[in-house]
Amino acid sequence: MKLDPKALRYMSNEEFRVLTAIEIGSRNHNIVPAPLIAQLSHLRSGSINKHIGDLIKRKLIASESSSKYIGYKLVYSGYDHLALRTFSKRGSVVSVGNQIGVGKESDIFVVAGEDEQEVVLKLHRLGRQSFRNVKLKRDYFRATQSPSWMYMSRLSATKEFAFMKVLHEHGFPVPTPIDQNRHCVVMELVAAFPLRQIDRLDEPGRLYSQLMDLIVRLAKYGLIHGDFNEFNILLKDNSTPILIDFPQMVSTSHSNAEYYFNRDVDCIRTFFKRRFGYESALYPKFTAKLDKEFDLDVKVAASGFTKKDQSQLERLMEMELGGGAEHQDIKDDDDDDDDLPSDEEVVYSSDSDASRGNTGKDDSDANSTDIGDDDFIVEHDRLGNTTRRRRSR
């Protein structure tokens, strides 16, 4: 997916307030009505339509219709701009360079911070592959279900940053984490090549032992990578391996810990045999009585990425891999709205108002008005939404 930050230069504060209001309104609405956008953005309703039209032209939001009203929803390009706006204010990202990587769940770019040093910006994009499956079988989700892929991408980025930070603090060979917001992570740019691009090694046995020791060391610290393969291992000029990509990392206390551990080991054994013709009879095996040195999984949970977040993310991963399990609604309940990011400081950063308004939840009661047509009635709710329905006989 193309990342074009040029619009950031020309977007007004009011447009960002509208964009963030749609993000906040998406907590409880699949499509956000214009009256609610005006309420959350603290802008006059007369100017809302102009700002909405400009955002649609920039392809940052999309217009959709339901049976009750016309509303608007945030798309990934709009989510990108909100994250870049926050990074720009923090000084983490001031310019965007070329794209250096793309996957089914992420896009990777070279960017620069205030010190003009090149770093990496990773944008998580969960659901990119899943939507193709949804198009093939539209009845996969019930009408009341809505997979909030942007919310899950934010969870994925939060998890990756939390694990990367903890691993870096404990001396593991990972990129230095710099910043994280919404679905984006900023990290160190490592001068290394992906292992999958290496065709020949002088000492394959040495690297094989290093990687197996790294798997075991992670387990002794209470963690299993879950996707330990040639795509997620970088190799520096001195043959030092660097580990990347942590959204699938799990605790050794996970119910499927043995499966994930053995899969990581088998991935390395298979790759070395196929690519370098190297095969060793020595490889680690998972045991429930593993002598743990640290509980980094507990430390990660204490950093803010909770077990609830982990279970939601795992449920989505099963859907991504086509696990065949019965689908459950992955969008969080209304009672858990406090867990979602509002980033209201972006909306109200230049606003002097002390009040913030209400949360914008729908009220169930409505006022009915007869419009003179015996066949139809019109209902207006407190948000200004209008519903026209046929009168029951």
**Which residues neighbour 59 within 8 Å (Cβ) at sequence distance 6 or greater?**
75, 77
User: Which among 54, 202, 227, 334 is annotated as catalytic?
Assistant: 227
- Strands of the 32-33 sheet, one edge to the other: 32-33, 70-74, 61-65
Which of 266, 293, 320 corresponds to the end of one domain?
293
Residue 346 lies in a domain: no
Give the model's confidence band at 317: pLDDT under 50 very low, under 70 low, under 90 confident, else very high: low
Q: Say whether both 28 and 45 belong to one domain.
A: yes
Higher pLDDT: 392 or 80? It is 80
Residue whose token pair is 């040195």: 293
Residue 120 lies in a domain: yes
Q: Cβ distance 222 to 201 under 8 Å?
A: no
Residue 313 lies in a domain: no
What are the angstrom distances between the C-alpha of 311 and each of 155, 234, 255? 11, 29, 12
Whole-number pLDDT of residue 102? 86
Q: Say whether both 34 and 107 belong to one domain.
A: no
pLDDT tens per residue across span 116-166: 999 999 999 887 665 444 344 333 333 434 447 888 899 889 999 999 999
Whole-number pLDDT of residue 146? 45
Mean pLDDT of 347-371: 36
Higher pLDDT: 307 or 303? It is 307
Residue 39 lies in a domain: yes
Higher pLDDT: 122 or 308? It is 122
In this structure, what CATH number is given to the domain that contains residue 181? Answer: 3.30.200.20
Domain count of the fold of the chain: 3
Report pTM. Answer: 0.74
In this structure, what CATH number is given to the domain that contains residue 250? Answer: 1.10.510.10
Whole-number pLDDT of residue 359? 37
Task: Indicate the helix (H) or strand (E) that contains 234.
Answer: strand 233-235
Q: Say whether both 242 and 280 belong to one domain.
A: yes
pLDDT tens per residue across span 263-289: 999 999 999 999 999 999 999 999 866
Residue 49 lies in a domain: yes
Q: What residues make up the domain containing 159?
A: 91-134+144-189
Q: Say whether both 196 and 256 belong to one domain.
A: yes
Q: Say whether both 98 and 80 belong to one domain.
A: no
In 3D space, the residue among 298, 307, 162 whose CA is nearest the CA of residue 222 turns out to be: 298
Q: Cβ distance 178 to 92 under 8 Å?
A: yes
Q: Say whether both 148 and 203 belong to one domain.
A: no
pLDDT tens per residue across span 58-98: 999 999 988 788 899 999 999 999 999 999 999 999 999 99
Q: Say whether both 174 and 213 belong to one domain.
A: no
CB-based burial label for 320 (10 Å; 0-12, 13-18, 19+): middle
Which of 293, 318, 353 corresponds to the end of one domain?
293
3-class DSSP state of 165? helix
Mean pLDDT of 198-205: 94
For the question of residue 202 being annotated catalytic, the response is no
What are the angstrom distances between the C-alpha of 43 and each of 24, 355, 383? 15, 13, 15
Task: Indicate the helix (H) or strand (E) that contains 71.
Answer: strand 70-74
